[in-house]
Structure 1
Amino acid sequence: MEMISKPLLFASLLLLLITWLLSRLLSASHRNKNAIGQGRRIPSPPALPVVGHLHLLKKPLHRCLASLADRYGDGAGLLLLRFGSKPVLFVTSPSVADECFTVHDVALADRPGLASRRLLTDDCPSISTASYGPLWRQLRRLATVHALCAHRLAATAAARDAAARAMAARLRLRLRSAGPGASVAVKETAYEFVVNAIMTTVAGERMTGEQVLRFKEMTEAGFAAAGAANRHDFLPVLRLLDFGRTAKRLAALAKARHRFGQSLIDEYRRRHPRGAPAQETPRTVIGDLLRQQQEGSPEPLDDVVIRTVCLSLLQAGTDTSTSTIEWAMALLLSNPDALKKAADEIHSVVGTSRLLHESDLAGLPYLRSVIAETLRLCPLTPNHVPHEASRDCAIAGGHAVARGTMVLVDVYSMQRDPAMWRDPEKFMPERFMEDDGDRPDGGRGWMMPFGMGRRRCPGEGLAVRTVGMALGVMLQCFEWGREGEVDMSEGSGLTMPMAVPLVASCRPHPEMESLLETLTL
């Protein structure tokens, strides 16, 4: 009897699954046909049953999607895809992107309710992935007020200055122990600086080397699982059978995020017990929010909200800023004239008798242009964090977009569009200098590396300052060189890492050696 019941049970489950899949597909098809019937048809490649266009996707995703748009887009600036039963709108035109996040900003402000997102962040959603609504507004407002507004950025500049000094001191010690001609893993150096700069602002203390490594592994695994091409999100059978143990892996990551975020709060409470003199409690994000919690905030402010704000600042800020620093160094090493020009500017403005401060960045236009050009060529998220239509709408002259459609934006290709930029594939920081005629604000270029509309990244100011301090101190204190040709291949992921981590030769700048000797960790 038992041997018969198992096949019957499996067959019943399979039948239920097929029935559910067909109902989902028919429902999605019905919605799309109704929407298309009310507007112009959006170009789309031939699709397969059940999987849709998933079989066409290859790594890196942003280049694959751009290639599909070139082949099937018919110059409409739009491409309609289907990931399983999920309709996906791929936007490839700057004018359509502008329309999406101005005219239709509210309709497209939601995030897809993907299974991976629910498994990873339901008990602690991030600001970037939270559904559009009251919780997202609360999280964004708290992060802005307590960390990301101009006043708080100015107040926390000293923490980033201190983290930059520590980075220079650590790098000097590593080079001394490694000997002449030492090689440096740029991303590792940058990551340690960025995570400690933000951690000091969030919790008032730095991470140990072991903590940095664990946090890095947790963050990178989370970003890898959050990509738009995670097939488990679009094929229910994969989720049901848990091929690759994806669900278990995401559940473990969710627990790790929960433990890490709660440990920050618990440790802060231990170090600063309730009733401690105010002057002994430094201004930090956790400290501000805990005081607000204790004083009886008019809105719910439990530990879940506090750790969500802190994890959002740490995880989103570290990964994106670190990747930008690594790409910037790779571009500079591949363009020695630009590298020399940036270093000479710093030595001319700041000198060699003191270390660069964040306040110096305003007087370094070429360094700021290097950052802008890096963001143009290597945007933080080449297709942005996915949006979702919360209601039917018509864009770009009547193309119908059905409720529930996921929206991806081809920022990577648009920021390299030859119709918008002169020599778009070239690294030319000069195009952002005030006396250059090829500037985006003159209508001849288009950029949105931090997004657009109400879901625009609120951490732009922090990111630019953090990247500027890292690059500035690295160029001021050390001389950098290539170890062969720099591999500029792009990896896969939400934040487009380098496929091959950048390793460069490094030695202290002769005129900075005496100053470096005085730095302590």
Structure 2
Amino acid sequence: MEISQAFVFASLLLLLLLTWLLFHLLSYQAPPPNGDGGRRIPSPPALPVVGHLHLLKKPLHRSLAALAARYGGGAGLLLLRFGARPVVLVSSQAAADECFTAHDAALAGRPGLASRRLLTDSCPTIATAGHGARWRHLRRLATVHALCARRLAATSPARDAEARAMAARLYSSSSSSSAASAVVVGVKPAAYGFVASVIMSMVTGERMAEEDVLRFKAITEAGLAAAGAANRQDFLPFLRLLDFGRARRRLAGIAKERHDFGQRIVDEYRRRHRRRLAVAADDSSSSPPRRTVIGDLLRQQESSPESYADEVIRTVCLSLLQAGTDTSASTIEWAMALLLNNPDVLRKATDEIDSVVGMSRLLQEPDLANLPYLRCIITETLRLYPLAPHLVPHEASRDCMVAGHVIARGTMVLVDVYSMQRDPRVWEDPDKFIPERFKGFKVDGSGWMMPFGMGRRKCPGEGLALRTVGMALGVMIQCFQWERVGKKKVDMSEGSGLTMPMAVPLMAMCLPRVEMESVLKSL
């Protein structure tokens, strides 16, 4: 009987795989106790080769929290093995504080996961770049040219303009309804379009086109899904070798889309800038263009082309867009879902805006400082649903001792912010949405939060995020009545992913407020 080549190849591949597994089964040893006087970090029983990957369920943050509660023994640390990679889950406030104060430099690295290398080697991100000179250069550029207090104040009018445009779009949708009544709105798409246009306006001076918003959203969501902390192909080399699901090709495709999208932003700005220069040469009365991130960086490129190469400019622009859009849009969606399930809080927020801003004009960014209850709503939303439930994974660049336990060099560190911000020992009724708990709140030990991270790798975009979320929520509340679709409460189940989306996207009934009709018509 003739044996097909495909059968022979499959048999050889299976034999190689079994040999590789047998080798690891025979060579596997339990991790040794910690040296240097440190106590051994608690750890669940592990399997050879896969370690603890078989214990991980979706959503990951709840699965890891359950493991810490069962096996952590109150140590505040839990040692896991994702394949051969050691992973420490930090689950106590004291341990997290120690990690990012006393050992901040030692834990400032990022794990060099295969999926991230494929996604970002040609166009890295500030959040995932390794700790070093390159990261410091990129972070400084993003801070100086976009995220410092001075630049945020200068770009406030752009956020006001995008808030007006968002309100106009929502009003247009409701006005075009044949029933002239409330329309069902997807809250995250509306929020995402607003946030993307806000950041694009800061970066290029132009609003992001709707088709670009959809394209960028797809690229970002695909990248976030592939870059999760429990991507099994990152930790099991034989899965990468076999490339189940053509993951390598898929990641390479996403990386190319990111690269092309970022380069197109730079190239289009160059073309527009050349046209503006030509117009300015013919018309001396034309006003100078307002400053933008790309404009600043391209001017620097003229005098220092190596330090401000196109790759650097692409990285800064894409980092601002990717880090700011999905996280802020998700926070707006979670906040609106909480408000719909707590109509008394929504009513208080509406009353506050009416009393401070009135109903004869649209809320503007300077008004946010006078809306403390709205700020409490945002803070309470970030407590319950932090931007990233485990932050961006860290990596130990050298051995360090935390809470009496040694974290070895090369260990990936995850911080269970989600559970710590719901700790019943710190928060009264921790699972309830109570914005009033933050009235007059100060970070003095009475309540502890770190939704933006901590230490030198803390997210530099906190100021922009709070302004953007505040403007979106404030305008949505001021201009429209929001109600649930149906009588059931909104499903608050959490999905999986680096930024913890809602498992069921929020749809809500949106109706223009009668008191704001004249303002909305003028937009």
Answering whether residue 386 of structure 2 is matched by residue 382 of structure 1, we say no
Q: Deviations over 1:480-511 (max 9, x none)?
A: 11123201000000001000011111111111
1:204 alignment partner in structure 2: 205
- What CA RMSD, in Å, does the superposition of the two structures yield over aligned residues? 2.3
Q: Distance in 2 between matches of 1:456 and 1:26?
A: 42
What's the CA shift string for 1:86-119, capped at 9, x where partnerless?
1000000100000001111111100000000000
Q: Distance in 2 between matches of 1:72 and 1:373?
A: 29
Note closer, same or farther for the CA distance 1:313–1:513 as it changes in structure 2 (3 Å cut). Answer: same
**Mapping of residues 241-320 of structure 1, within 5 Å:** 241-273=242-274, 276=277, 279-296=287-304, 300-320=307-327
Q: CA deviation at 1:441?
A: 2.2
2:342 partner amino acid: N
Alignment-mate amino acid for residue 294 of structure 2: I
Q: What is residue 422 of structure 2 aligned with on the other side?
A: 416
Shift of residue 181 of structure 1?
2.5
2:75 aligns to what SS in structure 1? coil
Instruction: Answer yes or no: is the 8 Å Cα contact 1:24–1:85 preserved in 2.
Output: no
Counting only pairs closer than 5 Å after superposition, residues 105-120 of structure 1 correspond to structure 2 as 105-120=104-119
Taking a change above 3 Å as real, the CA distance of residues 357 and 236 of structure 1, as seen in their structure-2 partners, is same
How far 1:16 sits from its partner (Å)? 7.1
Aligned residue type for 1:286: I
Shift of 1:300: 1.5
Q: Judge conservation of contact 1:107–1:391 (CA < 8 Å) in 2.
A: yes
Secondary structure in 2 matching 1:153? helix
Match in the other structure for 2:103:
104
SS in 2 for 1:227: coil
Q: Distance in 2 between the 1:27 and 1:201 partners? A: 55
Q: Which runs of 4+ in 1 moved over 6 A?
A: 2-28
**What's the CA shift for 1:177?**
1.5
* Displacement after TM superposition at 1:5 (Å): 9.3
Distance 1:212 1:5, change over 3 A: closer
Find the counterpart in structure 1 of residue 283 from structure 2. Answer: none
CA distance in 2, matches of 1:159, 1:190: 16
For 1:211 and 1:127, how far apart are their aligned partners in 2?
22
Mapped to 1, the partners of 2:196 and 2:242 lie a distance apart of 37
In structure 2, the residue corresponding to 1:272 is in which secondary structure?
helix
Instruction: Compute the TM-score of the two structures, normalised by the length of structure 1.
Output: 0.93
Partner Cα separation in structure 1 for residue 253 and residue 175 of structure 2: 39
Query: Could you tell me how far 1:401 is from its partner in structure 2?
Result: 1.1
Report percent identity of matched pairs.
Answer: 70
Any residues of structure 2 matched to 1:101-500 within 5 Å, and which? 101-178=100-177, 179-273=180-274, 276=277, 279-296=287-304, 300-397=307-404, 399-434=405-440, 439=441, 441-483=443-485, 484=487, 485-500=489-504
How far the C-alpha of 1:18 sits from its partner, in A, is 7.3
Read off the aligned partner of 2:361 and give its amino acid letter: R
Q: 1:121 to 1:28 in 2, by over 3 A?
A: farther
CA deviation string 1:411-464 (max 9, x = no partner): 001101111011111111111111xxxx45242211000000000000000000
Displacement of 1:393: 1.3
Contact 1:346–1:476 at 8 Å: present in 2 too?
Answer: yes
Following superposition, the deviation at residue 289 of structure 1 comes to 0.3
CA deviations 1:332-362 (Å, max 9, x no partner) are 1111111000011011100111111101100
Q: Is the 8 A contact 2:24 2:48 kept in 1?
A: no
* 3-state secondary structure, aligned to 1:88: strand
What is the deviation of 1:8?
8.4
Asked if the contact 2:24/2:49 (under 8 Å) is kept, the reply is no
- Provide the C-alpha distance between the structure 2 equivalents of 1:326 and 1:464, rounded to a whole number of angstroms: 14
Whole-Å separation in 2 of the counterparts to 1:109 and 1:23: 34
- Paired residues, what number? 511
Task: State whether residues 416 and 425 of structure 1, in contact with CA within 8 Å, keep that contact through their aligned partners in structure 2.
Answer: yes
CA distance in 2, matches of 1:24, 1:379: 38
Separation of aligned partners in 2, 1:28 and 1:101: 33
Structure 2 partner of 1:58: 57
